Chains A and B, each alone.
Chain A
Amino acid sequence: MIPVAALLQLANPQQPPTGGGVFLVATVLKMIVVFTVYMIGAALLTLAERKISAWIQNRHGPNRVGGRGGWLQPAADGVKNFMKEETYPEAAYKPLFVLAPILAFIPALVTWAVIPFGAPLPTRWGRIEMVVADLPVGFLFVLAISSLGVYGIVLAGWASNNKYALLGGLRSSAQMISYEISLGMSTIPVLLLAGNVTLNSIVKQQAYGGWNVVNLTLAFFIFLVAAFAETNRLPFDLPEAESELIAGYHTEYSAMKFSLFPISEYANMITASAMMVTLFFGGWDVPFTGRDNIGPYSVWLTLLSVAIFFAKLLFFLFFYIWIRWTLPRFRYDQLMSLGWKFMLPLALAYIVIIATALLILEAAGIQRGAMHSSILAAMNMALVVIVFAILDRGRIISPAYGRMGGARLARMRGLASRSPLASRAND
C-alpha cells in the first residue's frame, strides 16, 4: 500500500533533487525499468506492425501464438531466431560482420537515456526527474548518438562482401547524411523558442507557450519526414529495398544477428517518435491544462504525465506503421532531390523566418505568453497554407526529368534529328 496522502503532502516544485545514494538507486531503477519497457515495446512493435499491416490489407494478422491476439508472436519469433543457424559468408570480414549489428543496436538504445517521459516525482528524499540522465546538453546528445546508427548499417553492408549489401549500405549512408542535415536544421526553430537544449526545458516551454506543432508546423513536418528517412522506414527504406537489393545491408545475416537489425529499426522508431513527442507535442505535458507546469508535483501528476507521454508515443508509432502501408518507396533520385532541393532550403528559410519573427516580437515588447503564441500560430498558419497548398505543385516529390518548355523541346528535337543516329534510322 502506497501512502498516497503522505506523498501528496510532499509535492513541492521547489523540492531539491535527490542526491548521493538515493540518486544512484533511483537511476539504476530507472535504467532497468526503461530498458525493460523499451525492449518489450520494440518486441510488441513487431507484432503491432504485422497486425496493423494485416488490418490495412483486410486480413487478421498473427492470431495463433498466445490466443486470438497473437500476443506471444514476438516471443515465438525470438525463440526461432535464437535457434536458427548462424551463417558466415566465406568472403565476409568477420570482425566487422559481427560488430555491425551491435553497432546498429546500441545507439538506438542509448538515445532514450535523455528523453524525459514524465513530470518529476516528488519523494521523501527529494525530487526524482522522470528521465534516466538529465543531461544539460540533452538534445545535442540525441543528435550525436542517432547519427552513429548509420555506422552499423554501412559496416554491415561492407563487411558482408556482397554487392547488394554494399549497395544497401551505400544508399543508407547517403540517405542518412542527407536527411540528418534537415533533421538538425528543423529543430533549430524549436531551440530558438526554448532558448535551451535541455529536453526538459523544451517540454516546459511548450507547456507554457503552446505545443510547437501549433507554432512550428513546418519544422514538425521537416522533422517528421527526416525522421522517417533516418529510421529507414517506408517510404524511405531504400537501404533494404527488397525489390531491388534482396534485403539490402542485412542480406547476408541470419539468426539473432539478423534479428538485431529489425529490433534496432523498431528501437529507432520508438526513439524518433519520442523525439517528435518531446520536441513538438509537448512531451509529457498534459494537454488543455496549465497545472502541470506550475506544480505542485504529485504522484498522480507523474503517473498521468507518463500515461500521456506514452499515449502520444503510441500515436506516432501507429503513424509510422500507417505511413508504411500507405506510401510506396521513393526512387533514389526523388529521395535525394527531396532531401537537398526541398527540405534543406525549406528548413533554412524557416530558421530565418522564425528568428526574424522572434526578434520582431521582442523588439515590439511582446512578452512570452498567450499573445506571443497566438501571433506565432497565425504566422504559422499562413506559412502552412503557402507551402502545402500553393508551393506543393509537383515540387515536393518531383519527377526525374525536368519540365521542358515548348521552345526548348523543339530545340532538343532538332538536335536529335541532326544526330548521326537519327539519319541512319531514316536511311
Chain B
Amino acid sequence: MAITVKVLDRPIEDVSYIRATIKGMVLTFKHLLDTKVTVQYPEQKWQISPRWRGTHRMLTTETGKAKCVACGLCPTVCPANCIKLIPGEDEEGNRYPLVFEIDEFRCIFCGYCQEVCPEEAIHMGRHYENSEYSRAGFVYDLERLTAQTHPVCEMWDPDDARGE
C-alpha cells in the first residue's frame, strides 16, 4: 500500500462503475452505426496531396530526351548522397547525363533535387506504389526515370505559404 498516494473524493459520476459502463456502451454503439472511414485500398485510392514527395521522375523535352543538362547541382545538394551523375558532352557542346541513377532506398525524399534543378528536369513524383522484387530494382536509371508517367510534385511556394 503506497502511503503517500492521495485519494481524492471524486464525484459519484466518476466512481460509479455501472454508470461509466453504460456511458461507454452508448458511445461504442454510436460508433457501431457511424459512417466507416476506411479507404478500400486497391479499388479506391487515397487522394494524395499535390505536394506529396514520392519516387522521382525525369521530365523530357519534345524530342523525348531528358531535360537534364548534367550541371551536377542535384548530386551536390542531395543530403543522402543517392544521386549518381556522370556528365557527357555531344559534338555541339551540349551537356547531357551519361549516367543518371537515383538509389530510391537511400533517398530521404526531401525534394532538394527538384528545388535546385535549373532546368526543371528532375522531379519528385506523386506516387507511392513502389514494390520491386529485388533491392537492385530500386536503383532507378535514366531510362526508368524518364519512363515514369505519374504526376509530379508541386513544390512548396514561400510566397503562398498556406496554399496547396
Check if A56 sits within 8 Å of B37, measured CB to CB: no
Q: CB-nearest residue of chain B relative to A338?
A: B17
Check if A394 sits within 8 Å of B15, measured CB to CB: yes
Tell which of A63, A388, A416 touches B18, judged by Cβ atoms closer than 8 Å: A388
| A interface size (C-beta, 8 A) | 28
Q: In the complex, what distance in Å separates the CA atom of A328 from the CA atom of B33?
A: 21
Chain A CB within 8 A of B5 CB: yes
Q: In the complex, what distance in Å separates the CA atom of A231 from the CA atom of B55?
A: 51
Tell which of A56, A415, A416 touches B31, judged by Cβ atoms closer than 8 Å: A56
Q: In the complex, what distance in Å separates the CA atom of A228 from the CA atom of B40?
A: 35
Q: What B residues does A416 contact at CB under 8 A?
A: 3-4
Q: In the complex, what distance in Å separates the CA atom of A59 from the CA atom of B35?
A: 9
Check if A60 sits within 8 Å of B1, measured CB to CB: no
| B interface size (C-beta, 8 A) | 28
Tell which of B5, B16, B40 touches A392, judged by Cβ atoms closer than 8 Å: B16
Q: What B residues does A403 contact at CB under 8 A?
A: 7
Check if B38 sits within 8 Å of A401, measured CB to CB: no
Tell which of B10, B12, B15, B36 touches A55, judged by Cβ atoms closer than 8 Å: B36
Q: In the complex, what distance in Å separates the CA atom of A94 from the CA atom of B60?
A: 67
Q: What A residues does B7 contact at CB under 8 A?
A: 399, 401, 403-404
Shortest CB–CB separation between residue B28 and chain A, in angstroms?
5
Chain B CB within 8 A of A412 CB: yes
Q: Contacts A392-B16, A392-B17; is A55 near B32 (CB within 8 Å)?
A: yes
Shortest CB–CB separation between residue B16 and chain A, in angstroms?
5
Check if A57 sits within 8 Å of B17, measured CB to CB: no
Q: In the complex, what distance in Å separates the CA atom of A403 from the CA atom of B2?
A: 11
Q: CB-nearest residue of chain A relative to B34?
A: A58
Tell which of A325, A402, A415 touches B28, judged by Cβ atoms closer than 8 Å: A325
Chain B CB within 8 A of A366 CB: no
Q: In the complex, what distance in Å separates the CA atom of A55 from the CA atom of B31?
A: 7
Encode contact with B along A128-139: 1 for CB under 8 Å, 0 otherwise: 000000000000
Q: CB-nearest residue of chain B relative to A404?
A: B7
- Give residues of chain B (35-68) contacting chain A, Cβ–Cβ below 8 Å: 35-38, 40
Shortest CB–CB separation between residue B153 and chain A, in angstroms?
30
Q: What B residues does A322 contact at CB under 8 A?
A: 25, 28-29, 32
**A–B pairs, 15, beta carbons within 8 Å:** A55-B32, A55-B33, A56-B31, A56-B32, A58-B35, A60-B38, A326-B25, A392-B16, A394-B10, A394-B15, A394-B16, A396-B18, A399-B7, A402-B1, A413-B4
Q: Which 6 A-B pairs have the closest CB atoms?
A: A394-B15, A396-B17, A412-B3, A326-B28, A326-B24, A55-B32
- Known A-B contacts: A63-B40, A322-B29. Give 14 more (CB < 8 A): A55-B36, A58-B35, A59-B36, A59-B37, A60-B38, A325-B28, A326-B25, A392-B17, A392-B19, A393-B16, A399-B7, A401-B1, A403-B7, A412-B3
